[in-house]
Amino acid sequence: MGRFVEILLAMTGTVALQVMAQAVLLANVRFIDRRTRGRTEIRRTFWISLGAVVPLFFGHLAQVGLWAGFLVWLGALQVYNDAFYFSLVTFATLGYGDIVLAPGYRIFGALGATCGSLMLGWSTALIFAAISPAIECGRG
């Protein structure tokens, strides 16, 4: 039961960080949308894209940091830099394999990759949703 609770905490924290990044994205895009009305399509799209991507990028770094912290806290990895690197390549589903978890902790690698896929996909949808209206405004 202990592993289940640890996994649930990591996954819940990941989603919470994604929601916070999404809130910043929405505030940025609304602000930028108001400030760039009447500008060229390329300028609007540039600033809205930047306002969408930057908070999501930092949100993903925070998510990776959260997983790295869990791995160190649980004793799965000893050094935070190694844990951050492992979490990043796992989150991005690269899985280089140069750092591996002991058998009792491997579930964290698999679920980290699952969370990463979900969060990156969610971010892709958010970026598309943020940019689409700016592009549509330029066509109308």
Contact 118/19 with Cβ under 8 angstroms? Answer: no
Residues 29, 48: Cα–Cα separation, whole Å:
6
Residues 97, 103: Cα–Cα separation, whole Å:
14
Tens of pLDDT, residues 57-85: 999 999 999 999 999 999 999 999 999 99
Contact 27/55 with Cβ under 8 angstroms? Answer: no
Share of the chain above pLDDT 90, in %: 77
Which pLDDT band holds residue 1 (cuts at 50, 70, 90)?
low
DSSP state of 78: S
Strand ranges (E), 1-140: none
pLDDT score at 133: 79
